Amino acid sequence: MSDVAQASKVAGARPVADGLFTWPDNPKLLASSCNSCGTTTFPTQSSCPRCTGSDMREVTLATRGRLWTWTIQGFEPKPPYAGPAPFEPYGVGYVELAADADGASPVLVESRLSESTPERLVIGAEMDLEIVPFRTDDDGTEIVTFSFRPAGGA
Amino acid sequence: MDVAIVGIGMHPFGRHPGVSGLEQGAYAVRQALADAGIGWSEVECAFGGSASAGNADSLVSNLGLTGVPFVNVYNGCATGGSALAMADRAIRSGDYDLTLALGFDKHARGAFNANPESAGIGRWYGETGLMLTTQFFGMKIQRYLHDHGLPADILAKVAAKAFRNGSLNENAWRRKPLSEEEILAAPMLSNPLTQYMFCNPGEGAVALILASADKATRYTSHPVYLKSVSFKTRRFGSFEVFSPWLSPERAPGPTVEAAAAAFEAAGIGPEDIDVAQIQDTESGAEIMHMAETGLCKDGDQEALLRSGATEIGGKMPINTDGGCLANGEPIGASGLRQVYENVLQLRGAAGARQVPGQPKTAFTHVYGAPGISACTVMSV
Ligand SMILES: [Zn+2]
């Protein structure tokens, strides 16, 4: 969790969007869980696409989960992509995460991956959440986003 | 009332600077009218659309103001399939004897540009580089290969077949055969998919004239019967594009239901199909859709591809016109291109790429955003 702690300390750093993860202390992804059927969505939403219910509560997600699938983004996306220049390929994947709440189902969350070497991305391997610098805003504010890296990595 | 396809028309796929999508649509309609030997004024009802090239009904300014009821269809990757389904129903209901289904399009170069807000997702999703169709395809086939123990090199086999078939098709965009080695050595766009394993947005148009089956021989000596058309959207748990999250509770994609419904309505099964056109937005899609449509079992694709079963001369010819990979994907026209190809194959008029042995049955399948699928079964 050292990187999470490190990014949290970046003075005045701001998440890329509100409501994606708790910030700045003890960052965890924020999700909704349906009180009727237990379906968990990321990010939060006000109704349930499984049972059409609208009784949702906010929950946090585990910071460690397993990689469900992955790819590597090999070319620079068009706008609205606003990543750092020059472009460097980055990993993208779905990570299965448990919800920190009774009765809430796990959820597969799509995320940037901090690893972009194919050999180091393994379906089923444990991954850890980290909050990483993404870009610097026009006013100099550091913008951070969520990402996952192989657990136990350097 | 059964339905027959009695006229087909196509504007070649590819890039056509200075020719609008609507003009390509009008060209395809004129071709189809000529093929059926009828005038525009005889068309009783029309359905058509494009994703980004304008409203089909405005074509009456080009084709003639005949009072025809012309319905615009705007249904993403299912635009052509939906137009065909409605043109089919219009006859089956007994209301009309002669209808038109039209699809055309013209897209800018490069990957489709996605707008997070219009998809109901926060801007952060696009800003941080998660909103790309190419990533979705890479991740979906990555998981599929893992689940079914398939090797990634079969992706190159699919693409090589597409370009080989495309080289035999005068209306195709990509007509240069590429070797599996060249395909594997191309830049990796979204692991495990290289540049030549993806289709590109393109341009083109297809028009089909449908008639009630009892009148079909007035218009053509080779009627092709549309046995069924089905159209489905995704269920909860299906793995679809632009999903910031998925449920661990997995469900089959919309293709499975659409194909099953098409076969059930037609009264035949996948094993009875002589030639099939299935959605190959990228190589992995063809592999997954072979199983989702019921043409084979999950995991059997490797043996089928290595034995040449899906080649034009094989026992299960797939994407005989080069598919999306060789033709590009003008969204509105793509699904109807498949029907056009099957009509040629069932007429025995597919020239250099004709499936041998006089095919009697054919199948089409489109799949696309945001989790839709349309299928047809045809026969002679
Ligand atoms: Zn629910």
Q: What's chain B's length in residues?
A: 380
Q: How confident is the model at residue B114 (pLDDT cuts 50, 70, 90)?
A: confident
User: Please, what is the angle between helix B79-92 and helix B331-347, to 10°?
Assistant: 60
Residue B248, pLDDT above cutoff 80: yes
Cβ density class A76-111: b for 16+ within 10 Å, e for less: ebeebbbbeeeeeebbbbbbbbebeeeebbbbbbbb
Beta strands at A142-150 and A107-113: parallel, antiparallel or unpaired: parallel
- Please give the Cα distance from B38 to B50 (Å, whole number): 24
pLDDT score, position A112:
98
- Cα A116 to Cα A108, B190, B203, B380: the distances in Å are 20, 11, 34, 52
pLDDT score, position B202:
93
Chain B: nearest CA to A36, how far in angstroms?
16
pLDDT tens digit string along B340-368? 999 999 999 999 999 999 999 999 999 98
Residue B107, pLDDT above cutoff 70: yes
Strand arrangement of the beta sheet that strand A30-34 belongs to: A40-41, A30-34, A56-60
Residue A2, pLDDT above cutoff 60: no
Parent domain of A112: 2-150
Q: How confident is the model at residue B199 (pLDDT cuts 50, 70, 90)?
A: very high
| Best mutation target, A71, A87, A105, A134, to test chain B (most B CBs within 10 A) | A71
pLDDT score, position A152:
80
- Residue spans of the domains in chain B: they are 3-108+199-379
Does the pTM exceed 0.90? yes
**How many domains does one find in chain A?**
1
Q: Which amino acid is at B51?
A: A
pLDDT mean across residues, chain A: 91
CB pair distance less than 8 Å for A75 and B189: yes
Q: How confident is the model at residue B56 (pLDDT cuts 50, 70, 90)?
A: very high
Mean pLDDT of B174-196: 97
Task: Tell me the percentage of chain A whose pLDDT exceeds 90.
Answer: 82
Residue B300 tokens, joined: 């059997």
CB pair distance less than 8 Å for A77 and B110: no
Residue B175's Cβ-count burial label (10 Å; 0-12, 13-18, 19+) is middle
Residue B34, pLDDT above cutoff 80: yes
CATH code given to domain B3-108+199-379: 3.40.47.10
List the one residue out of A8, A14, A56, A62 whose CA is nearest residue A36: A56
pLDDT score, position A153:
62
Residue A51, pLDDT above cutoff 50: yes
Q: How confident is the model at residue A5 (pLDDT cuts 50, 70, 90)?
A: very low
- Please give the Cα distance from B230 to B255 (Å, whole number): 10
pLDDT tens digit string along B273-322? 999 999 999 999 999 999 999 999 999 999 999 999 999 999 999 999 99
Q: How many CA atoms are closer than 13 Å to the CA of B312, on its beta-carbon side?
A: 24
CB pair distance less than 8 Å for A108 and B246: yes
Residue A8, pLDDT above cutoff 70: no
